[in-house]
Protein backbone atom coordinates (compact mmCIF):
# COMPACT_ATOMS: atom_id res chain seq x y z
CA UNK A 1 0.00 0.00 0.00
CA UNK A 2 1.46 3.32 -1.05
CA UNK A 3 0.91 6.10 1.46
CA UNK A 4 1.50 9.86 1.39
CA UNK A 5 2.56 11.26 4.75
CA UNK A 6 2.44 15.07 5.04
CA UNK A 7 3.84 16.21 8.38
CA UNK A 8 6.16 19.15 8.94
CA UNK A 9 7.72 17.95 12.20
CA UNK A 10 10.69 15.99 10.91
CA UNK A 11 11.18 13.75 13.96
CA UNK A 12 7.51 12.72 13.93
CA UNK A 13 7.52 12.20 10.16
CA UNK A 14 10.58 9.99 10.29
CA UNK A 15 9.44 7.85 13.19
CA UNK A 16 6.00 7.45 11.63
CA UNK A 17 7.61 6.50 8.31
CA UNK A 18 9.71 3.81 10.01
CA UNK A 19 6.69 2.45 11.90
CA UNK A 20 4.45 2.42 8.82
CA UNK A 21 7.14 0.78 6.69
CA UNK A 22 7.48 -1.86 9.38
CA UNK A 23 3.80 -2.57 8.86
CA UNK A 24 4.18 -2.96 5.15
CA UNK A 25 3.38 0.51 3.81
CA UNK A 26 5.39 2.24 1.11
CA UNK A 27 5.66 5.75 2.52
CA UNK A 28 6.38 9.02 0.69
CA UNK A 29 7.02 11.80 3.18
CA UNK A 30 6.30 15.50 2.57
CA UNK A 31 7.51 18.28 4.88
CA UNK A 32 5.21 21.02 3.60
CA UNK A 33 1.91 21.54 1.82
CA UNK A 34 3.44 22.34 -1.56
CA UNK A 35 5.44 19.11 -1.66
CA UNK A 36 2.44 17.12 -0.45
CA UNK A 37 0.25 18.55 -3.20
CA UNK A 38 2.88 17.85 -5.84
CA UNK A 39 3.30 14.23 -4.70
CA UNK A 40 -0.47 13.72 -4.57
CA UNK A 41 -0.74 14.89 -8.16
CA UNK A 42 2.21 12.86 -9.37
CA UNK A 43 1.64 9.43 -7.85
CA UNK A 44 -1.24 7.08 -7.40
CA UNK A 45 -1.69 6.66 -3.65
CA UNK A 46 -3.86 4.25 -1.70
CA UNK A 47 -3.94 6.50 1.37
CA UNK A 48 -2.76 9.81 2.77
CA UNK A 49 -2.06 11.12 6.25
CA UNK A 50 -2.19 14.92 6.23
CA UNK A 51 -1.35 17.17 9.14
CA UNK A 52 -3.48 20.32 9.26
CA UNK A 53 -0.67 22.62 10.40
CA UNK A 54 1.55 22.41 7.30
CA UNK A 55 3.82 25.28 6.19
CA UNK A 56 3.55 26.92 2.72
CA UNK A 57 0.07 25.55 2.01
CA UNK A 58 -1.97 24.58 5.06
CA UNK A 59 -3.37 21.09 5.44
CA UNK A 60 -7.00 22.08 4.83
CA UNK A 61 -6.12 23.67 1.49
CA UNK A 62 -4.02 20.64 0.53
CA UNK A 63 -6.96 18.32 1.23
CA UNK A 64 -9.35 20.55 -0.72
CA UNK A 65 -6.99 20.72 -3.70
CA UNK A 66 -6.53 16.95 -3.70
CA UNK A 67 -10.30 16.47 -3.79
CA UNK A 68 -10.68 19.11 -6.49
CA UNK A 69 -8.26 17.08 -8.60
CA UNK A 70 -10.75 14.19 -8.28
CA UNK A 71 -8.31 12.08 -6.26
CA UNK A 72 -10.44 9.64 -4.30
CA UNK A 73 -7.91 7.94 -2.00
CA UNK A 74 -8.85 8.08 1.70
CA UNK A 75 -7.28 10.85 3.78
CA UNK A 76 -6.57 10.58 7.48
CA UNK A 77 -6.46 14.05 9.02
CA UNK A 78 -3.82 14.62 11.66
CA UNK A 79 -4.42 17.54 13.99
CA UNK A 80 -3.07 18.99 17.21
CA UNK A 81 -6.31 20.88 17.70
CA UNK A 82 -8.82 18.75 19.52
CA UNK A 83 -11.87 21.02 19.18
CA UNK A 84 -14.80 19.69 17.21
CA UNK A 85 -14.92 22.75 15.01
CA UNK A 86 -11.39 22.01 13.79
CA UNK A 87 -12.11 18.33 13.25
CA UNK A 88 -15.32 19.13 11.34
CA UNK A 89 -13.39 21.55 9.11
CA UNK A 90 -10.88 18.82 8.23
CA UNK A 91 -13.59 16.29 7.45
CA UNK A 92 -15.64 18.83 5.51
CA UNK A 93 -12.64 19.73 3.36
CA UNK A 94 -12.44 16.10 2.23
CA UNK A 95 -10.80 14.15 5.03
CA UNK A 96 -12.27 10.76 5.88
CA UNK A 97 -11.21 10.39 9.50
CA UNK A 98 -9.06 12.23 12.00
CA UNK A 99 -6.51 11.45 14.70
CA UNK A 100 -5.50 14.03 17.28
CA UNK A 101 -1.93 14.43 18.46
CA UNK A 102 -0.41 12.87 20.44
CA UNK A 103 -1.43 9.47 19.16
CA UNK A 104 -0.36 5.87 19.44
CA UNK A 105 0.83 4.13 16.31
CA UNK A 106 -1.76 1.40 16.90
CA UNK A 107 -4.50 3.98 16.56
CA UNK A 108 -3.11 5.26 13.27
CA UNK A 109 -2.76 1.72 11.94
CA UNK A 110 -6.30 0.83 12.96
CA UNK A 111 -7.71 3.95 11.28
CA UNK A 112 -5.66 3.31 8.12
CA UNK A 113 -6.91 -0.26 7.99
CA UNK A 114 -10.50 0.84 8.35
CA UNK A 115 -10.06 3.47 5.63
CA UNK A 116 -8.42 1.00 3.25
CA UNK A 117 -11.16 -1.50 3.81
CA UNK A 118 -13.77 1.16 3.26
CA UNK A 119 -12.14 2.30 0.01
CA UNK A 120 -12.01 -1.32 -1.15
CA UNK A 121 -15.77 -1.41 -0.68
CA UNK A 122 -15.83 -3.77 2.28
CA UNK A 123 -18.00 -2.83 5.22
CA UNK A 124 -16.79 -5.49 7.64
CA UNK A 125 -13.20 -5.76 8.85
CA UNK A 126 -13.33 -9.47 8.00
CA UNK A 127 -12.89 -10.17 4.28
CA UNK A 128 -13.99 -13.61 3.11
CA UNK A 129 -13.00 -15.22 -0.16
CA UNK A 130 -14.24 -18.77 0.00
CA UNK A 131 -11.80 -20.68 2.19
CA UNK A 132 -9.54 -17.61 2.58
CA UNK A 133 -10.37 -15.21 5.42
CA UNK A 134 -8.54 -11.92 5.92
CA UNK A 135 -9.15 -10.18 9.25
CA UNK A 136 -7.99 -6.61 8.60
CA UNK A 137 -8.45 -5.59 12.22
CA UNK A 138 -6.22 -8.33 13.59
CA UNK A 139 -4.15 -8.54 10.36
CA UNK A 140 -4.62 -12.30 10.35
CA UNK A 141 -5.12 -14.64 7.41
CA UNK A 142 -6.83 -17.99 7.73
CA UNK A 143 -7.11 -20.67 5.07
CA UNK A 144 -9.75 -23.29 5.76
CA UNK A 145 -9.91 -22.04 9.35
CA UNK A 146 -6.19 -22.48 9.99
CA UNK A 147 -4.04 -19.39 10.65
CA UNK A 148 -1.27 -18.83 8.09
CA UNK A 149 1.77 -16.63 8.87
CA UNK A 150 2.51 -13.79 6.46
CA UNK A 151 5.24 -11.15 6.60
CA UNK A 152 4.05 -7.54 6.64
CA UNK A 153 4.90 -7.12 2.94
CA UNK A 154 3.24 -10.37 1.95
CA UNK A 155 0.14 -9.34 3.87
CA UNK A 156 0.00 -5.92 2.19
CA UNK A 157 0.46 -7.49 -1.25
CA UNK A 158 -2.32 -9.97 -0.54
CA UNK A 159 -4.59 -7.18 0.73
CA UNK A 160 -3.87 -5.03 -2.32
CA UNK A 161 -4.76 -7.86 -4.66
CA UNK A 162 -7.79 -8.90 -2.59
CA UNK A 163 -9.17 -5.35 -2.59
CA UNK A 164 -8.98 -5.49 -6.39
CA UNK A 165 -10.26 -9.05 -6.73
CA UNK A 166 -11.25 -9.90 -10.27
CA UNK A 167 -9.13 -7.04 -11.69
CA UNK A 168 -5.75 -7.31 -13.34
CA UNK A 169 -2.98 -5.68 -11.30
CA UNK A 170 0.27 -5.04 -13.19
CA UNK A 171 3.69 -5.75 -11.72
CA UNK A 172 4.54 -2.05 -11.89
CA UNK A 173 1.37 -1.10 -10.03
CA UNK A 174 2.02 -3.69 -7.39
CA UNK A 175 5.64 -2.54 -7.02
CA UNK A 176 4.59 1.07 -6.72
CA UNK A 177 2.07 0.31 -4.05
CA UNK A 178 4.35 -1.91 -2.04
CA UNK A 179 7.69 -0.16 -2.14
CA UNK A 180 9.10 3.30 -1.64
CA UNK A 181 9.90 5.52 -4.62
CA UNK A 182 13.60 4.71 -4.69
CA UNK A 183 13.07 0.96 -4.75
CA UNK A 184 14.95 -0.84 -7.49
CA UNK A 185 12.14 -2.21 -9.61
CA UNK A 186 13.32 -5.68 -10.39
CA UNK A 187 10.32 -7.64 -11.63
CA UNK A 188 11.82 -10.89 -10.38
CA UNK A 189 11.23 -9.81 -6.82
CA UNK A 190 7.48 -9.55 -7.47
CA UNK A 191 7.43 -12.93 -9.15
CA UNK A 192 9.12 -14.52 -6.16
CA UNK A 193 6.69 -12.69 -3.93
CA UNK A 194 3.60 -13.92 -5.76
CA UNK A 195 5.06 -17.42 -5.69
CA UNK A 196 5.33 -17.26 -1.91
CA UNK A 197 1.72 -15.99 -1.60
CA UNK A 198 0.44 -18.85 -3.79
CA UNK A 199 2.35 -21.38 -1.72
CA UNK A 200 0.97 -20.09 1.58
CA UNK A 201 -2.64 -19.69 0.39
CA UNK A 202 -2.79 -22.85 -1.65
CA UNK A 203 -0.23 -25.43 -0.52
CA UNK A 204 -2.19 -28.25 -2.23
CA UNK A 205 -2.62 -26.42 -5.58
CA UNK A 206 -6.41 -26.79 -5.47
CA UNK A 207 -7.57 -23.13 -5.20
CA UNK A 208 -5.45 -21.22 -7.74
CA UNK A 209 -6.08 -17.94 -5.83
CA UNK A 210 -3.79 -15.77 -7.95
CA UNK A 211 -3.57 -16.23 -11.68
CA UNK A 212 -0.96 -14.78 -14.02
CA UNK A 213 -2.39 -12.82 -16.96
CA UNK A 214 0.40 -13.07 -19.48
CA UNK A 215 2.04 -9.76 -20.33
CA UNK A 216 -0.37 -7.80 -18.11
CA UNK A 217 0.00 -8.88 -14.48
CA UNK A 218 -1.85 -10.83 -11.80
CA UNK A 219 -5.45 -11.33 -10.79
CA UNK A 220 -6.91 -12.40 -7.44
CA UNK A 221 -9.41 -15.01 -8.56
CA UNK A 222 -11.30 -16.02 -5.43
CA UNK A 223 -14.85 -14.64 -5.34
CA UNK A 224 -15.84 -12.65 -2.27
CA UNK A 225 -18.60 -13.90 -0.03
CA UNK A 226 -19.57 -10.28 0.64
CA UNK A 227 -21.13 -7.99 -1.94
CA UNK A 228 -18.83 -5.04 -2.49
Partner 1 sequence: MKRWTRAELQTLLREKAPRSIARRLLLASLIGLPFFLAATGWFLAKSFEASQLASAEERARIQFYALLSTLDFDRSGIQVSNRNADPRLAQINSGLYAVIHRPNGLLLWQSTSSQGLLLDEELLSGGNPPEVGKERFDTLDEADLLRFQFQTIYETDDGEDLPLVFTILESLNSLRAEQRAFLQQLWLGLGGAAVLLTLAQAAILRWGLAPLRKLAHDVSDLEQGRRAALPDQYPTELQPLAQNLNQLLTREQTQRERYRNTLGDLAHSLKTPLAVLRQAVQGADIDRSQFEEQITRMDQLIVYQLQRAVASGIHRVGQQSQMLKPIADKLVASFSKVYFDKNLQLQVTVDAQCACRADEGDIYEVLGNLIDNACKACHSKVAVSAEQSERWLLIHVEDDGPGIEPEARNRILLRGQRADSYQPGQGIGLAVTVDILDSYGAELDIGSAAFGGARFTIRWPS
The residues binding partner 1 (CB under 8 A) are 82-85, 87-88, 91-92, 95-98, 100, 102, 104, 114, 118, 123, 125
Tell me whether residue 125 is exposed, middle or buried, using C-beta atoms within 10 angstroms of its C-beta: 0 to 12, 13 to 18, 19 or more: middle
Q: Which is nearer to partner 1, 24 or 95 (CB)?
A: 95
Q: Give the phi and the psi of residue 197 in degrees, each rounded to 5.
A: -60, -45
DSSP helix/strand/coil, 70: coil
Q: Which is nearer to partner 1, 124 or 172 (CB)?
A: 124
H-type helices in the chain, by residue range? 10-22, 33-42, 59-68, 84-93, 105-119, 152-163, 171-178, 187-201
**Cβ-contact 127, 170 below 8 angstroms:** no
Strand 168-169 vs strand 146-148: parallel, antiparallel, or unpaired? Answer: unpaired
Q: Which is nearer to partner 1, 117 or 171 (CB)?
A: 117
Smallest separation (angstroms) from partner 1 to the CB of 89: 9
Smallest separation (angstroms) from partner 1 to the CB of 102: 5
Smallest separation (angstroms) from partner 1 to the CB of 62: 18
Q: Which is nearer to partner 1, 57 or 114 (CB)?
A: 114
Smallest separation (angstroms) from partner 1 to the CB of 72: 14
Smallest separation (angstroms) from partner 1 to the CB of 169: 25
Q: Which is nearer to partner 1, 75 or 222 (CB)?
A: 75
Amino acid sequence: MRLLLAEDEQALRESLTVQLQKHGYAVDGAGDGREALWLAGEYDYDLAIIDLGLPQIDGLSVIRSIREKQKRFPILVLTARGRWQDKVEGLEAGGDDYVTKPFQIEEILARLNALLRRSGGFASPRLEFGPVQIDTAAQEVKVNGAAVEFTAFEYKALLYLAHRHGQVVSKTELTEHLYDQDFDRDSNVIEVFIGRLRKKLDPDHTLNPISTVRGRGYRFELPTSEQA
